[in-house]
Structure 1
Amino acid sequence: MRVTASGAKSFVFESKLNRTNIRRTIGDVRSWTIEAARAEANRLRVELDGGNDPREL
């Protein structure tokens, strides 16, 4: 979870691709349950492991 300076909270997927950090916002904490956010993060990790950039999907 990431909190901005204005107080907005969102779930974020962060990993490395080709030795660089990548970050993709999953969604607002009011719209996503922790279980759903974890499932989405796992899906993004599988895409990344398959060689796909999750930011382009």
Structure 2
Amino acid sequence: MKVKVLKLHPNAVIPKYAKSGDAGLDLTVVEVEHIGAGILNTGSGYHLRSLKDM
């Protein structure tokens, strides 16, 4: 699966695997801004394509 990453904060960290064989990438939050009820800004954006779009 290809994941497009957009750095929205100058200190944003590109996701990476911590160890070989990991099932998912580790995400890093550089700041947390409370926007509303249950909504947070973490400084990063990700785009995942649905299997039907492939």
Structure with bigger gyration radius: 2
Structure with the bigger percentage of helix? 1
Question: Above 0.5 in TM-score?
Answer: no
Structure scoring higher RCO (CA < 8 A, sep ≥ 6) equals: 2
Q: Normalized against structure 1, the TM-score is what?
A: 0.23
